[in-house]
Structure 1
């Protein structure tokens, strides 16, 4: 990752400040091409909202084969699912989400010292990608490394509100434990030993990071997106959504499904690295975030990733004469440099790697 830029190509503008300034129209740099816009017909509150939802899986109510089959089916058919009764403390989940909401509402002079750069993205940010003149998303964020510990920068962990650093660490540890449990289920469903996928990730030497998304109110939500369409470059993503303000949309064929969050659930999705390891059996799916004219939205995306410098390729047990390896070997560091440079671009990266059949 050493060839990333040290500075952003243009002065950073905080979207929250734009929103709170009272503007009636958004700056041109946030206006998406017509083909990329969500459109008012897809906004939360539409009559069709909630009519279709991604699978919801009760990890306490299912066990063994039933759990494996439900998770495996969701990964094959949707690439997304929600989990309830997952073992992460609901009190910790709520406290983490509201703590981050409180952080984003601090005065700018208290937030700005945490400003990030393209080198690591760690800290307080307002854009992805380093292409000058790129159309930007209507969001601010905060990115933190959790694992490996050698990547953590204590100076970037907010000390406000009080005891927030300890809360972030407790939340992250519990989500890492849940991720490890899901990895075993995913592995068994593929007919592999339960530790096979985890070992392919690097065993105990995995990567884990947190991106907290803040989507301010937007005066023209039909012209922009909070986060452009993309598939996640890593392994697994566990999203703690804003229960009161839907915004995540998942591609389903040629349509977009607005996810209806279940209280105290995590929204789990397959990342590109898991698609590669499973040789395309599990699918990373495009998703995006729409914004709202009347309400802000906060969500916590936790990324459970392979060790950054080990080759990731289809698991040998899943490569056969009838299903040859779909993807070449590549380290996660090499892979994620694309999105770190260009920002979210649908599924263009992982699709471009597919071997011709």
Structure 2
């Protein structure tokens, strides 16, 4: 095993730091000023005027060509000007989203011994983790996470997914299927916006054997406020 398959220093779970009663985030987790995101000089400093693009995907089903063309334009503009956007009416079941979010919250509230059974390494990052990269002394993110491979099926190993809560594996599989379908819709839009055949990007990224993974982030707060859970799909 080479140095890139082991962590350079002992892993500290961010959740355990938060639960320890600390009242300030340790310096290790505070980015240097020059490394923090900043607004451009032309960006209004009134936060109310800053709005991440929200795209209504129900317009994809419209019989009106002008409506669909307008939607493609909105997505193109969001990609060029922001690099990301929110989607609504995306087709992913809201009840499933809530259940998946809650089951991951339950996982992170399990005893540390249960979670440590899924501790990851830099070799694949798959499993329960608290840092990315192997640079010793690097600034770290204030979060724990669980990373898993979803597609292709040849790399999926559900034994590496949490055994508890008991519904976790089933929900992850169902949620993952819906996210993959959503991503297929978006890939078609991206292809069309680039002047390509609508299945071009899907084929370029593997077609039916496309790579997909899921990263669930746990963001504890140094307070009594309940922490935030976020699930990030990736293709």
For Structure 1 versus Structure 2, the TM-score category normalised by the shorter chain is 0.7 to 0.9
Contact 2:143 2:220 in 1 (8 A): yes
Q: Which of these residues, 114, 119, 130, is aligned with residue 115 of structure 1?
A: 119
Matched, 1:296 2:224: no
Determine which structure has the larger strand proportion and give its number. 1
> Which residue pairs with 1:198 in the alignment?
202
Contact 1:187 1:194 in 2 (8 A): yes
Contact 2:158 2:169 in 1 (8 A): no
Matched, 1:177 2:172: no
Give 1:137 deviation, angstroms: 1.2
Determine which structure has the larger helix proportion and give its number. 2
Superposed counterparts of 1:83-94, under 5 Å: 83-94=87-98
Give 1:35 deviation, angstroms: 2.4
Matched, 1:31 2:21: no
Unaligned runs of 5+ in 1: 40-46, 220-292, 305-357
Change (3 A) 1:25 1:78: closer
Q: Please list the CA deviations of residues 49-76 of structure 1 after superposition, one character each: whole Å capped at 9, or x if unmatched.
A: 4432111111113543222222112112
Q: Please list the CA deviations of residues 70-105 of structure 1 after superposition, one character each: whole Å capped at 9, or x if unmatched.
A: 211211222111111111101111111111111111
> Which residue pairs with 2:103 in the alignment?
99
Superposed counterparts of 1:161-240, under 5 Å: 161-218=165-222
RMSD (Å), alpha carbons: 2.1
> Which residue pairs with 2:42 in the alignment?
none
Give 1:48 deviation, angstroms: 4.4
Give 1:3 deviation, angstroms: 7.0
TM-score norm. by structure 2 comes to 0.88
Change (3 A) 1:168 1:4: farther
Separation of aligned partners in 2, 1:88 and 1:24: 38
**Secondary structure of the corresponding residue to residue 204 of structure 1:** helix
Separation of aligned partners in 1, 2:166 and 2:28: 36
Contact 2:150 2:213 in 1 (8 A): yes
**Secondary structure of the corresponding residue to residue 98 of structure 1:** helix
> Which residue pairs with 2:41 in the alignment?
none
Separation of aligned partners in 1, 2:123 and 2:193: 37
Q: Which runs of 4+ in 1 moved over 4 A?
A: 47-50
**Secondary structure of the corresponding residue to residue 60 of structure 1:** helix
**Secondary structure of the corresponding residue to residue 197 of structure 1:** helix
Q: Which of these residues, 55, 58, 62, is aligned with residue 57 of structure 1?
A: 55
TM-score norm. by structure 1 comes to 0.59
Give 1:154 deviation, angstroms: 2.4
Separation of aligned partners in 2, 1:71 and 1:79: 10
Unaligned runs of 5+ in 2: 39-44, 63-67
**Secondary structure of the corresponding residue to residue 141 of structure 2:** coil
Contact 2:22 2:222 in 1 (8 A): no
**Secondary structure of the corresponding residue to residue 166 of structure 2:** coil
Change (3 A) 1:50 1:164: farther
